[in-house]
Amino acid sequence: MNEMMTQKIEMLLDKIAEDYANWCQRAKITNKTQEEFREGLGYIVGNKYIKVTENGNQMRVWGFVVNTENDKKFKFGDILMAAGWKAPARNHARGNVIEEEFGAVQWTSPAYMR
């Protein structure tokens, strides 16, 4: 993964954490919990996708980012919802990290189709 993509993924993780922080403020949850949530966000780089994960009580998949220029349907950097642990839902992109059109990123998952 190149340096630019690493920066974009980190920006996505920050945006996810920001949405979580906003939710915590409304729910009156402590800052410590917010810090732990951000520290638990990560990613696993694969050939086709970057799997964005959250390490809460159980490791879970937040979503996927397309990590190839050779996808027939999606652009490099497109954000996809998770269909399961191993694969994204390939019905529609929810945004793009390269173009900084993150779409409506929620802390629970990428937002549904716009």
Phi, psi dihedral angles at 58 (to 5 degrees): -130, 145
Give me 53's structure tokens.
């994960």
Query: For the segment 32-82, what is each residue's pLDDT rounded down to a tens digit?
Result: 788 889 999 999 999 999 999 998 656 899 999 999 999 999 999 999 999
The three-class DSSP label of residue 6 is helix
pTM, two decimals, is 0.89
Encode pLDDT of 82-94 as tens digits. Answer: 999 899 999 999 9
**CA–CA dist 44, 25 (Å, integer):** 29
Helix (H, G, I), strand (E, B) or coil at 54: strand
